[in-house]
């Protein structure tokens, strides 16, 4: 069944427009309010968007990414992360994930390297974000977002894995030293963890909403409704700010590992992460309300 977002792209390609009478389901006040800068940015983002027929199993990949981010914490022994349930069948999970990752692992690695390299060379966050859109131009919006979040999970997961096993495993200790991870400075690590936790939580929430919106069946919700079409058209902005937040997180982690122990007595600047977390929370609230209204309409349609 064709999903809502994919059917929207197909309609745009075909030049379809119009409004079916009596189909308005979303109040005119619902949706994201974009600034003039964001409206211009939306046009730039849409110019990079040229999805092909390839499909990404976003649900399976997102589940794996969320598991990594949930377990990537300061302490593995006494944190809630260590209490998370393990997969009931690890072999089955690995087999399933191999099929999911087979066609997208290159894209994930490429995005991870792109963000890491450009953040270390002083590139602007907006420039890096637009570069990610260029690299992922052939994927749908939900695919772009989940693949970039997976690239972040590679970076963030490795960082905390070295921290967790530094005192228990010589290989982890040597790698942490080579990568200049300040594992012996708890103040710096706590600053990293506390500074990014809220932002990462909002990143996951927005991503989950975008994925859920992408799965809404076009059979029940028509994009001929002008208000719904307007709301769905702001999804690229939600994707932009989430990827922009991912860039900020990776940049902060890379700054710490690049500067190593010179960072030991410094405090991370929390202003940017706080601003981005608030931005994403606002976006998530709007997307969640859109989902609620869409499901209400689907329920009404199916009960007729």
Give how many domains the chain has, as a whole number: 1
**Distance from C-alpha of 304 to C-alpha of 302, rounded to nearest angstrom:** 6
pLDDT of the residue at 237: 93
**Distance from C-alpha of 226 to C-alpha of 238, rounded to nearest angstrom:** 19
Q: Could you read off the pLDDT tens digit of each residue along the chain, which spans 304 residues?
A: 346 556 555 555 545 444 433 344 444 444 566 677 778 888 999 999 999 877 788 999 999 999 999 998 765 444 454 455 555 456 656 666 777 788 899 999 999 999 999 988 889 999 999 999 999 999 999 999 999 999 999 999 999 999 889 889 999 999 988 888 888 777 777 777 777 899 999 999 999 999 998 888 877 766 666 766 776 778 999 999 999 999 999 988 887 776 655 554 444 457 888 899 999 999 999 899 888 888 887 887 777 7
Q: Which residues pair with 217 in a beta bridge?
A: 3
**Distance from C-alpha of 135 to C-alpha of 56, rounded to nearest angstrom:** 15
**Distance from C-alpha of 72 to C-alpha of 258, rounded to nearest angstrom:** 20
> Whole domain around residue 287: which residue ranges?
4-303
Q: What are the C-alpha distances in Å from 94 to residues 1, 164, 217, 289?
A: 27, 23, 29, 35
Whole-structure pTM value? 0.84
Cα 8 → chain centroid:
21
**Distance from C-alpha of 158 to C-alpha of 165, rounded to nearest angstrom:** 11
């Amino acid at each position: 069944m064709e999903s809502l977002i994919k059917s929207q792209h197909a309609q745009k390609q075909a030049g379809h427009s119009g409004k079916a009478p009596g189909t308005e389901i979303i109040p005119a006040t619902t949706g994201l309010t974009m600034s003039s800068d964001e409206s211009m940015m939306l046009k730039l983002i849409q110019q990079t968007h040229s999805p092909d027929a390839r499909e990404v199993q976003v649900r399976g990949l997102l589940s794996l990414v969320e598991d990594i981010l949930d377990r990537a914490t300061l302490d593995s022994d006494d944190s809630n992360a260590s209490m998370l349930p393990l997969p009931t069948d690890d072999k089955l999970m690995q087999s399933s994930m191999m099929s999911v990752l087979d066609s997208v692992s290159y894209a994930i690695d490429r995005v991870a390297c792109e963000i890491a390299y450009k953040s270390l060379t002083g590139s602007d966050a907006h420039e890096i974000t637009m570069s990610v859109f260029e690299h992922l131009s052939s994927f749908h919006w939900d695919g772009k977002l989940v693949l970039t979040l997976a690239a972040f999970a590679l970076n963030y997961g490795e960082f905390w894995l070295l921290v967790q096993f530094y005192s228990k495993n010589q290989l982890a200790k040597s790698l942490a030293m080579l990568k200049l991870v300040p594992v012996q400075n708890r103040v710096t690590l706590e600053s990293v963890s506390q500074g990014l936790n809220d932002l990462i939580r909002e990143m996951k929430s927005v991503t989950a909403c975008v994925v859920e919106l992408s799965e809404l069946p076009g059979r029940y919700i028509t994009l001929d409704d002008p208000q719904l079409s307007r709301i769905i058209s702001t999804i690229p902005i939600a994707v932009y700010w989430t990827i922009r937040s991912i860039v900020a997180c990776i940049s902060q982690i890379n700054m710490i590992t690049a500067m190593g122990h010179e960072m030991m007595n410094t405090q991370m600047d929390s202003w940017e992460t706080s601003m981005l977390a608030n931005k994403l929370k606002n976006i998530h609230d709007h997307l969640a309300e859109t989902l609620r209204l869409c499901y209400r309409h689907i329920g009404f349609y199916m009960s007729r």
